[in-house]
Amino acid sequence: MTEDRKSSVMAYPSHHDTLSNPYIRLLYAEAEQSTFEIQAFSIRRALVGRADVVHIHWPEWAIVQRSPFKAYPRLIAFMAAIFLARARGAAVVWTVHNLHPHRRVSRLREALLYAFLRRAVAHQIHL
């Protein structure tokens, strides 16, 4: 990486997605003033794009649908996106906020998601 180029961060949620959360707003405002370029994470962007860092705050969005016919494809797509990001050299960072999602819909989906994340992420931030 040259000194001219900022490191790219794919973030969910990004400060573009939510301005109401002060942690996210402050974190990414500060990061963009230093050496990071922040873009919003999406499964599509993660599957076809590249980033130096993928930073996930609330991975539970991938499992909260009530319908398993919607939830499992989203979970599989999320896992594939993270896997490909790692394969392309991105550092995957997970900010762990809670032990369980606020809205619990499936303990099996939670177990699958968290087991995957524990193996897939390079770094964890615990609040």
Give residue 7's region: left, alpha or beta (phi > 0; psi -120 to 50): beta
Rounded distance between C-alpha atoms, residue 37 and residue 5, angstroms: 9
Span 45-63, average pLDDT: 90
pLDDT in tens, 10-51: 988 876 666 667 777 777 777 778 888 888 888 999 899 899
- The mean predicted confidence, pLDDT, of the chain is 85
First-last CA distance in the chain: 30
Whole-structure pTM value: 0.85
Share of the chain above pLDDT 90, in %: 41
**Quick one: 90 exposed, middle or buried, by C-beta within 10 A (0-12, 13-18, 19+)?**
buried
